[in-house]
Amino acid sequence: MSPPDEQAATRMGALVLYSIVLHSDQQPKTAELCIARGCQIALNLGIGRSGFDFSSIGADLVGMESLRRSWWELYTLDCYLSALHRRPSAMDHNIDACLPLPSWDKQYEGSGCDVNTPSLHTFERRMFMQNETLDFSPYSYRIEAARILARVLGVSLGDESHQDDVEAVDHAIAAWKLNTSDLSAHDSRLATHVSEMIFQAHLFVQSASILLHFPRSDLPMAVPTLRNISCAEGCERLVPTSNLHTAKAILASKDIADLVTLPYRLESHSPLLICGMALACMVQLAAASAHCQETVFYSLQHYQDRTALLLGALTTMGRKWRVARRSAHHLKAVANVVFAIAEPTGALENDSVHDSGIDMGGIPDNLSWFDLLSPTEFFDELQRFDNDCAVQAPLLPLTLT
């Protein structure tokens, strides 16, 4: 690799890290620009194109692995954030399937990187092999999870999606889970050890399930107070809806809550996990608001416990990351209102689910759970709402429109 190309490759890796920090600091637009710039650098270098050979850069094995990891991280990040923010990908995901995947950390850290790591094509065909002997690194499963997220985006953009396409993505999610059933994020031999890559892979897949099923579910989509929750935007109800989509969205949010309970310091996790936790919390709150008119408190207690768990996780990660701090702040305001309905003064007789929404005293009622707007644009209005909620929450009813 020539010196200019080497500098460009280094810049690409730096942009990947910088975009993660920007996203976690609630600067999504600037993060998108960094990702787009990194993708352009990769395109100029030819990475991802058919016939590209990482060994052609002329560096040692560690240098080759570093470049390979930087590019795959850029690819994964673009898939993940594009799906969350409902925007077209900056990168063409029709990549060369013969590209080698990242190696194991123990090889990378020990300077024993393998130049002949399995390719994406080999990894994706592993489930059809009878005598599988290849040992794939955890990065491979995370990359596949990100590719599933990209497929969810494909059936979410536009006015219509063919039912067969939606089912195919749903089958891909189920297949990933079944074929990784013995791949746990938690090493039972070590009480406090969690594989970060496997943890992220599981959270990515559960997030994909939420993004696929929540908009097609019977759960209420509009909760006005969540207009400023980060991590997702532009999501509207997709028809037809079904109870099956509802069940799958709730199950995915429960699985994310289960991940949070693993014995590991949340602050040690990547901030990329924050949005998955916020998505799970949104589903739990939507489910709670849909069933709040039920007189059996036991049902609401489950939603309340999981919401408390996820809010606790967001609050903990919010000590370091603004996106978690702001998400927790506004989700708590909503939770305070939703679960106040369990009080006798909030009991309702109307059993409508589709049109349920919380009356927030003049704030527009047509905003999706996934709306993401500029934090500064509505800051004053949201601050007034938060102050009102702190005083009035126990008395606010659930208004069915």
Is the pLDDT at 286 greater than 80? The verdict is: yes
- According to DSSP, the residues that pair with 186 across neighbouring strands are 194
* Whole-number Å distance between alpha carbons of 396 and 340: 8
Percentage of the chain surpassing pLDDT 70? Answer: 70
User: Between vectors from CA 224 to CA 151 and to CA 244, what angle results, nearest 5°?
Assistant: 45
Encoding tokens for residue 260? 């949070």
What pLDDT sits at residue 185? 61
Indicate the SS3 state at residue 52: coil
Query: Is the distance from CB of 175 to CB of 139 less than 8 angstroms?
Result: no
Judged by phi (left if over 0) then psi (alpha if -120 to 50, else beta), residue 104 lies in beta
DSSP string, 7-18: HHHHHHHHHHHH
DSSP secondary structure, 233-284, as one string: ------SS--HHHHHHHHHHHHHHHHHHTSSS-GGGS-TTHHHHHHHHHHHH
Greater confidence (52 vs 143) lies with 143
- Say what angle helices 3-24 and 322-338 make with each other, to 10 degrees: 30
Domain ranges in the chain are 214-401
User: Distance between CA atoms of 107 and 100, rounded to whole angstroms?
Assistant: 15
Task: Give the angle subtended at the CA of 255 by the CAs of 358 and 369, to the nearest 5°.
Answer: 25
- Lowest-confidence pick of 13-22, 266-275, 291-300: 291-300
Answer yes or no: are the C-beta atoms of 52 and 46 closer than 8 Å. Answer: yes
Q: What would the mean pLDDT of 242-248 be, rounded to a whole number?
A: 90
- Contact in structure between 300 and 339 (CB atoms under 8 Å): yes
- Between the ranges 228-232, 233-237, 256-260, 353-357, where is the mean pLDDT highest? 256-260
Render pLDDT for 138-152 as a digit per residue (tens, 0 to 9). Answer: 999 999 999 999 999
**DSSP secondary structure string for all residues of 198-233:** HHHHHHHHHHHHHHHHGGGSSS--B-GGGGG--S--
Whether 176 shows a pLDDT value over 90: the answer reads yes
Q: Tell me if 124 sits within 8 A of 141, measured CB to CB.
A: no
Q: What are phi and psi of 175, to 5 degrees?
A: -65, -40
Structure tokens at 185: 């994020």
Cα–Cα distance measured from residue 5 to residue 12, given in angstroms and rounded to the nearest whole number:
10
Instruction: Give me the mean pLDDT over the 7-36 stretch.
Output: 93
Q: Hunting for tokens 């289960």 — which residue is that?
A: 258
Rounded Cα distance between 366 and 23, Å, is 26
Mean pLDDT of 329-344: 78
> How many CB atoms are located within 10 Å of the residue 114 CB?
14
Q: Is residue 60 left, alpha or beta, with left meaning phi > 0 and alpha meaning psi from -120 to 50?
A: beta
* C-alpha gyration radius of the chain: 22
Q: Does residue 332 carry a pLDDT above 60?
A: yes
Q: Which residues of 59-92 are buried (b: 16+ CB within 10 A; e: fewer)?
A: bebebbbbbbbbbbbbbbbbbbbbbbbbeebbbe
